[in-house]
Amino acid sequence: MQIPRTIILTFLSAFIPLFANAQLVMVGGVEVTKQNASDLTKYIDNASGKISYDYASHTLTMENVKMACEKYDKPVYVEGGSHFILQLKGENIITTSLGQMELGAKKNTITGKGGILRISTPKPAPGLQVNSSELIITGGCTVEAEGEWGITGDNVYGTVLRINGKDGTVVKAKGKDQPSICDFGEIYLEDCAVTNPVGAEVVTDENGHMRILKDGGDIFEQVVIRKVDADYDLTVNGVKVDAGNAGNVLGDGKVVFNAKTRTLTMNGASIAATGHPAIEAKSDVAVLFRGENTLSSDVDVFNFEGETILTCNGGTVSATSQGGAAIRAKGNLSITGMSGELKGKQGIWGEGGDAELKLAHSKLKVTGTEAAWAALRPLSSTDARYTAPRTPRQRTDRLRRAEPYTRARP
């Protein structure tokens, strides 16, 4: 007997939504089921905190989870389904010795105001991988991924990375021998920007794929993406830099800010600041000097809170503070190809003692009435030498007495 065609179509259509929404979720090598979804932690080796899954919303919630994955290769694995949500609460730390967190729903969202995810692997694998789908990081969470790659797609075609910084979302990715963020066909940064390394930007390559590059090349150091305030977190002689004045900050044509690369260019600028620094940056920034630049302040001349790069392109800089540091740095400070002189109570001061000073290809005289430089981690230098007394004891005394301390090219 021939079955009516209308019955066959009705029969098949009843199963289409079922197969279309089928989703496999595994956490710590354990498949999520109706029976274990409410408390997954007790089924997972080397895991603490609370892990649960809600079938109705396709949401996996992690709250103050610590998980050391030693026997299984993927701490979180998602395959299929229209969407998947990873809800973060508290600080969640995942280490995996075999593989990566792998998300493969059509749309994958990581969110959670104030929630933190730190995932790392020593193996040649990414910290976080997205499989031919979209990854959205939003809602004020912090995601840190480290591995051979940091965050990667499995294929540039149809793989999208979208980060929304509106509520304070922060993304940090670090690769080892491979790019920190790569293999996405599309990358969208909404209300946020790449703040480290300074000068990095999202570009479209010759194949139409969007990549995060610096100076045209892939990035292997940590990439940081976060919200930047409307004033760009940057002030020059008391003037907040914004989209309206970035092309001519002080109105004299000598100070320009490129928001895309976070680069402040000073070309023959002369600034005498009173009651505030000549330049103050709360986020990562690069400062490029051209021509002869003279800056002074009765407090700190430069005050940097983020990662900072100072360099000269055929120019020099003279910075003098009457009552503070010539440079006060809270984040790491890199001085490259720079010529000039820094003078103050402290020449270079590392606030908090955690800042690292890197000096390369520079001729710079640093003088402080209290210290030439202090509260910095050990100095790292390239193609440079310093003049100093012969013995370590004499050098310590000399720095304490804050006599001029000079580093120069050989």
Mean pLDDT in residue range 311-340: 92
- The whole-angstrom separation of Cα 253 and Cα 268 is 10
Cis amide bond preceding 179, omega within 30: no
Better-scored residue on pLDDT, 156 or 333: 333
Mean pLDDT in residue range 191-203: 86
State which amino acid sits at residue 227: K
Mean pLDDT in residue range 343-353: 89
Mean pLDDT in residue range 92-115: 93
Report DSSP letters for 115-144, one per residue.
-EEEEE-SSSSEEEEE-SSEEEE-TT-EEE
Question: What band does 383 get if pLDDT is binned at 50, 70 and 90?
Answer: low
Supply the mean pLDDT for the chain.
85
Better-scored residue on pLDDT, 364 or 378: 364
Q: Does position 219 have pLDDT exceeding 50, yes or no?
A: yes
Q: Give the range among 99-113, 186-200, 259-273, 314-328 with minimum mean pLDDT.
A: 186-200
Q: Does position 390 have pLDDT exceeding 70, yes or no?
A: no
Cα torsion 112, 26, 108, 13: sign: negative
- The whole-angstrom separation of Cα 256 and Cα 348 is 24
3-state secondary structure of 397: helix
Q: Does position 395 have pLDDT exceeding 60, yes or no?
A: no
Distance linking the first and last C-alpha atoms of the chain? 96
The token pair that represents 33 in the structure block: 């089921």
What is the structure's pLDDT at 222? 92
What is the CA angle 285-291-297, rounded to 5?
60
What is the structure's pLDDT at 228? 76
Please tell me what DSSP assigns to residue 112.
Answer: -
Report DSSP letters for 12-68, one per residue.
HHTTHHHHHT--EEEETTEE--TTTTT--GGGSTTEEEEEEEETTTTEEEEEEEEEE
3-state secondary structure of 400: helix
What is the structure's pLDDT at 94? 95
Give yes or no for a contact between 176 and 147, defined as CB atoms under 8 angstroms apart: yes
Mean pLDDT in residue range 178-184: 92
What is the structure's pLDDT at 12? 35
Q: Does position 317 have pLDDT exceeding 60, yes or no?
A: yes
What is the structure's pLDDT at 3? 41
Percent of the chain predicted with pLDDT > 70: 86
Q: Give the range among 16-30, 233-247, 303-317 with minimum mean pLDDT.
A: 16-30
Question: What band does 171 get if pLDDT is binned at 50, 70 and 90?
Answer: very high
Better-scored residue on pLDDT, 60 or 388: 60
pLDDT digits (tens, 9 = 90+) for 133-160: 999 999 999 999 999 999 999 876 789 9
Q: Does position 10 have pLDDT exceeding 80, yes or no?
A: no
What is the structure's pLDDT at 392? 34
Mean pLDDT in residue range 312-324: 92
pLDDT digits (tens, 9 = 90+) for 223-243: 999 887 777 889 999 999 988
Instruction: Give the β-pairing of 363-374 and 339-350.
Output: parallel
What is the structure's pLDDT at 345? 93
Please tell me what DSSP assigns to residue 2.
Answer: P
Question: What band does 386 get if pLDDT is binned at 50, 70 and 90?
Answer: very low
Mean pLDDT in residue range 335-361: 88
Better-scored residue on pLDDT, 121 or 403: 121
Mean pLDDT in residue range 47-59: 96
Which pTM was predicted? Answer: 0.67
List the strands of the sheet with 101-104, edge to edge. Answer: 30-31, 24-27, 76-79, 101-104, 126-130, 149-153, 181-182
Q: Does position 11 have pLDDT exceeding 90, yes or no?
A: no
Give the best-scoring range by mean pLDDT among 154-158, 253-257, 388-392: 253-257
Q: Is 10 exposed, middle or buried (0-12, 13-18, 19+ CB in 10 A)?
A: exposed
